[in-house]
Amino acid sequence: MAAEKVDPVLKERCKDLILDLDTLREISRRFLHDVDKGLRKDTHATSIVKCFVTYVQDLPNGTENGKFLALDLGGTNFRVLLIELSKDHFEMRSKIYAIPQHIMLGSGEQLFDHIADCLASFMKQEQVIAETLPLGFTFSFPLTQKGLTKGILERWTKGFNCSNCVGNDVVQLLKDAIARRGDIQIKVCAILNDTTGTLMSCAWKNPNCRIGLIVGTGSNACYVEKQKNAELFDDEDKGSGNVIINLEWGAFGDDGALDFIRTEYDRDVDANSVNPGRQLHEKMISGMYMGELTRLALEKFTKEGLLFEGKASDALFTRGKFYTKYVSEIEGDPAGVITSCRDILEELGIYHATDQDCFNVRYVCECVSKRAADLASTGIATLLNKMNEARVTVAIDGSVYRYHPHFHDLMMQTISTLVNPGIKFDLMLSEDGSGRGAALVAAVACRTQQKG
């Protein structure tokens, strides 16, 4: 966008949303320090970035075959998938099921009974109800894994708060719910989170894939680490010598490490969230919060008389009414074009916006989304430098990366600036990572069991 069209006073007021290179390098240094703490036995308990061992050691090699179920639970909807694999062949059928609000906030038993009901209905629909199928379970909440099929829920995120789940093994909760029904036979082969699924899904096509990243409703990353550096890896079978580490990087900054860049908008979003003081990194990056961060800045600038002649609408002043998709749509217009911005402002009941207002609104959107891309990129560059491999593909999924028109380019630019010379990287959109990836983890587990 032509920056000269932005009101200079407003531009000045947005400075606290812009991170310069020195700041990004300092964030990288703090993040690496936390990753090292998370990997070590003696500091893991006090580390904010948890670096959970996933027990996924082997990446797909193309020889996986058979029928696999996948269950993907990561937000207000979940999916059940049936995947058939053979060499170079991939067939997938899936169905999306909603999780009503009362179940998201009800008991764990209610949640897992609902999931088991949907699994059974899907298996009937796909005519595999009589078969015993391996299942990969993507569960995109913070877990401590005790093995490939045992995951203890650390805490709920993303608006969930089901009772009797935190501190329990979610695989067992799923198995119990399946047993209560008694009409389906399922072998849970692996539990993983969506970042691991994203990495596995791309690794099936691209053997250089070593990092998985989600920038969607939430944000998290995982990467391939040497087992000897993952001091909490507790398994007799040392297999490949590598293991995927689930960083749970959404919590980075919960100890104050990011306070030096947090703005009044970040503090407001956090204070009004379901988990104040938690997931502070995620709250600066992900789709769940990006629209609200933008709205808070627009509200402030309106009240200061910098936008809309100081007069806006009830909608603009109402929490949650400026959706993250608006940010993508406004930035999707070519530079100098304000059609989407005008449409969105009218949707919000603001009919008196000038062209200047529209340029200013777009600039605020750009500041919020570029900061999100810069923070995600800083984490990825830190991992690339830590791994120090000549060529790495980063698998990425999530609505923000997928639908924001400039997120990919912003990330390429920032990572290139921060990564050590000689490291080549590319960013690959993961096609349906959390579903396909879950089935692939189950398939790889079956393959290695057969081999063993």
Active site residues: 79, 140, 194
Structure tokens given for 271: 């204070």
* Separation between Cα atoms, residue 180 and residue 116, nearest integer Å: 9
**DSSP H or E run through 311:** none
Check if the beta carbon of residue 326 is closer than 8 Å to that of residue 358.
Answer: no
* Separation between Cα atoms, residue 400 and residue 86, nearest integer Å: 32
SS3 content of the chain, % helix, strand, coil (to 5): 45, 20, 35
* Separation between Cα atoms, residue 307 and residue 425, nearest integer Å: 41
* Separation between Cα atoms, residue 335 and residue 401, nearest integer Å: 20
Check if the beta carbon of residue 51 is closer than 8 Å to that of residue 249.
Answer: no
Q: Where are the beta strands (DSSP E) in 61-159?
A: 66-73, 77-86, 89-98, 132-139, 143-147, 150-153
Q: Is 64 helix (H, G, I), strand (E, B) or coil?
A: coil
